[in-house]
Amino acid sequence: MAFVITSPCIDTKDQACVEVCPVECIYDAGDQFLIHPDECIDCGACVAPCPVNAIFQEEDVPAGEEGFIEKARIHFGV
Nearest Cα to 50, choosing from 2, 27, 18, 77?
Answer: 18
Q: How many domains does the chain have?
A: 1
pLDDT by residue (tens digit) across 7-62? 999 999 899 999 999 999 999 999 999 999 999 999 999 999 999 999 999 999 99
Question: pTM of whole model > 0.75?
Answer: yes
- Give the residue numbers spanning the domain of 61: 3-76
Dihedral, CA of residue 20, residue 65, residue 9 and residue 31, to nearest 10: 120
Q: List, in order, residues 6 or more apart from 21 with CB less than 8 Å away.
A: 45, 46
Q: What is the CATH number of the domain that holds 26?
A: 3.30.70.20
- Report the pLDDT value the prediction gives residue 19, as an integer from 0 to 100: 97
